[in-house]
Structure 1
Amino acid sequence: MKTQEEIIQEVLKNNNGYAYFSQIYNDVFTIPGNSFKKENKYKESIRGYVQRSDSFFSIKPGLWALEEYRDKLPEEIKEMIQEDTESYFERPTTHSKIQADLIAMGKELGYITYIPSQDKTKVFEEGKKLIDIVDIYTIPIFTYKPMVDKVRTIDIIWFKDESIDSTKMFFPKGVFEIETSTNFVNSLEKFKLLINFNMQYFYIISPKEKEKTFNNLIVRDEFEQIRNRVKFLAFEDVESLVSNPNILKRFDIL
């Protein structure tokens, strides 16, 4: 079964590697195996996949292309590519601020902090980008590559350096997904891939009012194997952790 991101990729492939969001919103429903449903949040989910995955890049606001098609795009589309792709990330967002907080906490606990490559130029406060504080934005190959490719879009991963002599070995110890919509399914599916790694919990960070939606979702049969290992943290919980690191113990992060 195709993932929702693969469905979006197929839409772009069917259109010479690029498409406006308006076209993607319509065409996902023409792809065999599509699992998107015409609900209030499906467009937000599509934007989330596109904006957070290394598989896509921005040509201009609202127009996106597949990275693998970058050199194959029609000339008139290539001419539209913004020279300064960082313009998308020039203002701090709640998402980037929380990433910065989790980077700081991870460093304090002695972990190697990771964010996806597409997030590195995001601004978390005036004049400061995530690349200025994070340790790495290329994910270590800690297991077989197909799995690594699927989890590299996780918003924050804390890695533990377990290198032996000259052999570099980084393994995930803390995993955090920041979700501002109600589409927790993609995050939970990524957590399922990491179930056999030595982590006590996985963390969903979202507005407090989304907790009921999360609780209704996590009880589904498909999430039974991770149900007791996923913790919900509200945005204000993260703020408390930053101001008082001792509260980390309350959330079983240590």
Structure 2
Amino acid sequence: MKQKDFVIEAMRKNGGMATFSQLNKMVDVSLWGTKTPFASIRSIVQRNDEFFKLQPGLWGLSEFKNKLLNLNIDKTDNEFSHSYFQGLIAEIGNARKFDTYIPAQDKNKIFINQKLSNVASIEKIYDFTYPNIIRYAKTIDVVWFNERKLPNAFFEVEHSTDFKNSLGKFYELQDFRVKFFIVAQKEKRRRYDDIISASIYKDLRDFVKFIDYESIVRLHEKEMIRYEI
């Protein structure tokens, strides 16, 4: 078998799609004779017609293309994309030894080939403050908690160009020493900057950071390789 065949077989077993971090775990590279198997896998996927890009960091087998596209996972403004980035963010948190929380309304949504409930490390949010504030935190797309069961970071995955709902949640949580992230397409950065510059959000500007999808993918790949090593 050629190296490419090992990658194709691994992706088939994964339902026809996979991230690089999944392939790094699944592909048998024991006979490849290379010191950089992860780089070889990436090169194979990116340079061969047997594979195509579904999402940033997510690749599919061309033989499964019609089936996968029928799931609408090649588009950005849909449920699959939202849960995909929630899953990536949760896996980054897990690799960094945080407890990760995903809200109840999203737990049955699909992250590649599993439910988000299988990715989050805790089922219920920690009661780290008053109930009237917890009710906002419970709706955040992904929360990382430290070893003291206090929030380290809040992430909102935002497909719209409004951002106001996410910023409203962050406003209610601003008194905590925590990181706030809006995760969206990089093309929406200008719109985000316009909204956050409004006077109503002056107390949030120094605490909320915009991070694009491609940056999340790069962080995910970096953390998964570090975790595997």
TM-score interval, smaller chain: 0.5 to 0.7
1:33-61: CA deviations, max 9, x gaps?
xxxxxxxxxxxxxxxxxxxxxxxxxxxxx
Matches within 5 A, 1:140-155: 140-155=126-141
Alignment partners' CA distance in 1, 2:190 and 2:153: 24
Structure 2 unpaired stretches of 5+:
1-77, 225-229
Match of 1:180 in 2: 159
**Structure 2 match to 1:228:** 206
Give the counterpart letter for 1:197 in structure 2: F
Instruction: Please point out which of 78, 81, 99 is paired with 1:112.
Output: 99
Q: Does 1:97 align with 2:84?
A: yes
Greater RCO, 1 or 2 (C-alpha within 8 Å, sep 6+): 2
Q: Is the 8 A contact 2:125 2:138 kept in 1?
A: yes
8 Å CA contact 1:177–1:204 kept in 2: the answer is: yes
Task: Tell me how many residue pairs correspond in the alignment.
Answer: 147
- 1:150 Cα offset (Å): 2.0
Shift of residue 104, structure 1, vs aligned partner = 0.9
C-alpha distance in structure 2 between counterparts of 1:101 and 1:174, whole Å: 14
SS of the counterpart of 2:182? strand
TM-score normalised over the length of structure 2? 0.61
1:195 and 2:182 aligned: no
Aligned to 1:45: none
TM superposition outliers: structure 1 runs of 4+ over 3 Å = none
SS of 1:232 mapped into structure 2: strand
Does structure 1 residue 171 correspond to structure 2 residue 157?
A: no
- Please name the residue that 1:157 is paired with: 143
Instruction: Please report how far the alpha carbon of residue 242 of structure 1 lies from its aligned counterpart in structure 2 after TM superposition.
Output: 1.1
**How far apart are the structure 2 equivalents of 1:216 and 1:113?**
31
SS in structure 2 at match of 1:227:
coil
Q: Pick from 102, 119, 131: which aligns with 2:117?
A: 131
Give RMSD over aligned pairs: 1.7
Q: Output the CA distance in 1 between the equivalents of 2:145 and 2:151.
A: 4
**Equivalent residue for 1:213?**
191
Distance 1:94 1:225, change over 3 A: same
Deviation (angstroms), 1:243: 1.6
1:232 partner letter:
F
Q: Once the two structures are aligned, what percentage of the paired residues are identical?
A: 35
SS of residue matched to 1:233: strand
Name the residue aligned to 1:38.
Answer: none
Give distance in 2, aligned partners of 1:161 and 1:240: 25
Give the TM-score taking structure 1 as reference length.
Answer: 0.55
Q: Which residue of 2 aligns with 1:242?
A: 220
The alpha-carbon deviation at position 217 of structure 1 amounts to 0.5
What is the deviation of 1:151? Answer: 2.3
User: Contact 2:95 / 2:223 at 8 angstroms: preserved in 1?
Assistant: no
Q: Is the contact between residue 92 and residue 125 of structure 1 (CA under 8 Å) also seen in structure 2?
A: no
CA offsets 1:82-104 (integer angstroms, 9 cap, x no match):
xxxxxxxxx97111111111111
Equivalent position of 2:39 in the other structure: none
Q: Secondary structure at the match of 1:161?
A: coil
The answer as to whether partners of 1:93 and 1:124 remain within 8 angstroms in 2 is yes
Partner Cα separation in structure 2 for residue 149 and residue 242 of structure 1? 28
